Amino acid sequence: MGGVVAVRAGSIAAELGLRPGDALLSINGHILRDVIDYRFYGAEEELELVVERGGERIVYEVERGYDQDLGIEFAEPTFDGLRLCNNRCEFCFFKGMPPGMRRSLYIKDDDYRYSFLFGNYITLTNLTEDDWGRLAEQRLSPLYVSVHATDLALRRCILGNTAAPDVIEQLKWLGSLGIQVHAQIVLIPGLNDGQYVTSTVADLATHYPTVQSIAVVPLGLTKYHRCPLRLYAPEEAKAIIAHISAWQREYRNHQGLNLVYASDEWYLLAGLEVPPAEEYDGFPQLENGVGLTRVFLDEELPVVGCELSVGKVTLVCGTLIAALLEDMAAKLAERTGLAMEVVPVINDFFGPTVTVSGLLTGRDVIEALRNCDLGDLVFLPRAMFDASGKLTLDDMSPAAIGEELGVRVEVAGTMGEVVASLSV
């Protein structure tokens, strides 16, 4: 059942008298499993809604226009729980988490519904016959799939799942349903790179346009991982980029797009410039860190007001992006006359091998900035906070960080947001 947390004023649901605390059980006889069912079965003009309130069931008959939303917000996107992962990957992020953090950070989701709704990566290893039937009925597209390898034995080894199905057969079936896929390959030194990644990319490319894009992402490890794996070195990153560039030339000649893309970490690790925007073909895997740096670099900054509200600002980031951010900050300071300092924070919480801004904790930021001249304002990266922008991985708010540092703290996801905050 779908627990109602809010009803939009003036909506159909409000006119019916629905209210927070109600539970929407079904639409036109279909039991609702999630917001996807709510949208799919609620798309008809004539609806029968069954609502539970205080242990009683109420039936509503509704007529609506196709462009009218019912106006209901739910507590969770899935009403029957979250589908969990049945794999045992050595490099799994959850194995690199320390103990003692909030429970939600240890939930290993592998739910195809979250892939459709939010772009979460799934492995397709836990789908039931009912799931495949639902995919056929509702055509949930696109899905985001962690492939890692198309060789079945190797993929099962990587996933730690001897029952993992053949992903190529699954891609064929998804293609027959008209469902598109964005694929991810997490590259692991000495395991699925070399000839294996070459064959994996080639296999996936044969399933274009079902496979719309292929992202190649480097393995990430924290100090809490206990596995015989290592990270890539800069020279190795250069070699991988060279391979990807060769594949891109081939696919652009045949398919009219690059199809396979290196995540930004490869270029930053190798010390190479990220490609121009047109090489990303519309940025199909931006949230996976593929082209995010290019978008950041190409951002058109708003015009700075004639007066600035501060004299000096500090920009906080992970060590990976620090050099690029320092260059941008220097150019902005030259334009405005503003004193601007970039402070890269070494990740002590997860270990110094974790260099991205999105995994910084509040406590590491505080320790790195405690004895610095921070000026009038500190900007923290939006990526280090949860979806609501309120809490870090160690449950600290921007206000709490600012209070400990004794300085005003703001959150910014782009340099444009920084500039907008500085103008009077």
For residue 214, the domain's CATH number is: 3.80.30.10
| Residue 301 pLDDT greater than 90, yes or no | no
| Residue 13 pLDDT greater than 80, yes or no | yes
Whether the model clears a pTM of 0.85, i.e. scores above it, the answer is yes
CATH number of the domain residue 26 falls in: 2.30.42.10
CATH number of the domain residue 355 falls in: 3.40.50
Residue 302, pLDDT score: 67
pLDDT tens for each residue of 57-75 = 999 999 988 888 899 999 9
- Answer yes or no: is 61 within a domain: yes
| Residue 307 pLDDT greater than 70, yes or no | no
Q: Tell me the average pLDDT across 410-420.
A: 87
276 and 166 inside one domain = yes
127 and 253 inside one domain = yes
266 and 181 inside one domain = yes
Using a pLDDT cut of 90, give the percent of the chain over it. Answer: 80
Residue 120, pLDDT score: 95
- Answer yes or no: is 243 within a domain: yes
- Answer yes or no: is 86 within a domain: no
98 and 14 inside one domain = no
Q: Tell me the average pLDDT across 313-325.
A: 93
14 and 102 inside one domain = no
235 and 320 inside one domain = no
62 and 109 inside one domain = no
262 and 394 inside one domain = no
- Answer yes or no: is 79 within a domain: no
Assign 300 a pLDDT band (cuts: 50, 70, 90). confident
112 and 64 inside one domain = no
Quote the CA–CA distance of 117 and 36 in Å, as a whole number: 8
Q: Tell me the average pLDDT across 187-206.
A: 97
Least confident of 11-15, 191-195, 328-332, 336-340: 336-340
| Residue 361 pLDDT greater than 80, yes or no | yes
Look at residues 230, 265, 295 and tell me which one is the last residue of a structural domain. 295
Q: Tell me the average pLDDT across 84-103.
A: 85
304 and 410 inside one domain = yes
| Residue 174 pLDDT greater than 90, yes or no | yes
Look at residues 249, 269, 295 and tell me which one is the last residue of a structural domain. 295
Residue 416, pLDDT score: 84
Look at residues 269, 295, 321 and tell me which one is the last residue of a structural domain. 295
Rg of the chain, C-alpha, whole Å = 24
Quote the CA–CA distance of 308 and 419 in Å, as a whole number: 10
50 and 140 inside one domain = no
Q: How many domains is the chain built from? A: 3
Assign 308 a pLDDT band (cuts: 50, 70, 90). low
- Answer yes or no: is 88 within a domain: no
Residue 108, pLDDT score: 87
Pairing between β-strand 2-7 and β-strand 72-74 as defined by DSSP bridges: antiparallel
Residue 146, pLDDT score: 98
Mean model confidence pLDDT for the chain: 92
Coil vs helix vs strand at 343: strand
139 and 278 inside one domain = yes
Cβ density class 167-196: b for 16+ within 10 Å, e for less: bbebbeebbebebbbbbbbbbbeebbbeeb
Domain that holds residue 260: 93-295
